Structure 1
Amino acid sequence: MKNDIFDVSNRVALVTGASSGFGAHFAKVLADHGAKVIVCARRLDRLTSLVDDITTMGGKAFAVPMDVTDATSVKNAFDEGSKQFGLIDIVSNNAGVADSKMAIATDETSWDFVMDTNLKGMWLVAMEAGRRLIAAKAKGSIVNTASILGLRTAISQSSYATSKAAVVQLSKTLALEWARKHIRVNALCPGYFVTELNEDYFNSEKGRAYIQQSPAQRTGELDELTAPFMMLASEAGSFVNGVALPVDGAHTLGNM
């Protein structure tokens, strides 16, 4: 795109968790700025619809099923995506789950459910991308979607907050190790945005009351994540590496 600071033409992006929420939004944004986009999730029907949307708006996209907790599934998705569009040099790592419970009520099954997707899945995808970029001696950008709960915490979020704090530290560690390989790794830390994961809560009286106590007194709009995300994903942020960027209407400065 002409005169586009976020231009990612001739780049190939892989987006996990693309069946809804942040992943679906980032896939459309990347395509809109010129990238060929590989969209990944377990729900292939959702991905097919997303590919249709991107194609309709003039972009290029390809759907591949992926279970981020399964190393073989991750590798196969990278293989299929690379066959279709070439070397993947942008990764938007979004797959995530939550199981909000008081810490004392969190059992091992619940803990593993959150950690396997939010941390192990993020690690598997990032490592697959990193290995391929290093082997190809190519530069790239990995944006791991963490959360403001990776920077602070809240009641009933022990497993989720721990997983997202680990994603922040993973991002920083990989940034440090891969900087000389010209691979940037950053963590995007959204505040509260209404997605499929949390819409029931934020549509409830309790959820609305909680948001009213936040500094901005509202949830974010997905478009308000677009510029911060594209700064990290594109060459607009070419010297930004290893950061945990909150996009939260100052929520991390107020009460959680």
Structure 2
Amino acid sequence: MTAQEADRTHTASNSPSAEAAQQFVQFAIESGVLRFGEFTTKAGRLSPYFFNAGLFNDGQKLLTLAQFYANAIVRSGIEFDVIFGPAYKGIVLAAAVSMELARLGRPAPYAYNRKEAKDHGEGGMLVGAPLKGRVLIVDDVISAGTAVREAMAIIRSAGATPHALAIALDRQEMATENGQDVPHSAVQLVQDQLGLQVCAIANLSAILGYLSHSSTSDDSAASQLEQYHGKVQAYRERYGV
């Protein structure tokens, strides 16, 4: 399965394409990246699902992931000049997405940061293309917006403009501030308070839709997923936005 097959439309939208989102959820499950069970989140919540983008860990998975990202970015209609990948997961994402966009005829340079400044050779905190103009940040998921703020500070210090954010999954749940739940998600915070456009490949609604569809199938793997639909739905009812 490729993202080109999942979605060939280029309609401007910051909401995930329903078909592409469903196929991305399937891809993430098959890759072992999206798992179901009991997991403790950074906010201390007991979540019935866990998304670990670090498990897109071979060439084929990374290629397919980049295709999903690139199609979501193109479909969103977001305009930008440079891609920025925050260390560490964002580094490989930025490189892979830049390559896939080039293959689609939409070339864009990319850069990333080091966690610690290099004190020899070219030195500095940044690697890759110069950060200038409108910058698209590429990351996996965001939970509180802290990493986005850090990336924005790096971009601004280089004289460029943080403009947009592309992520794999929007959890669509309440963020936490000072240990307290707040009535907006991390994505909403990034959009409304930090002023960035956001596009996501998939979201929690897509996960629920996929699990709901699985409940109608006789496939043994699908029937195993069915048991988690109610748990994910209950989690969304409690923490969703």
The interval holding the TM-score normalised by the smaller chain is 0.3 to 0.5
| More strand per residue | 2
Give the TM-score of the pair, scaled to structure 1.
0.37
Give the TM-score of the pair, scaled to structure 2.
0.38
| More helix per residue | 1
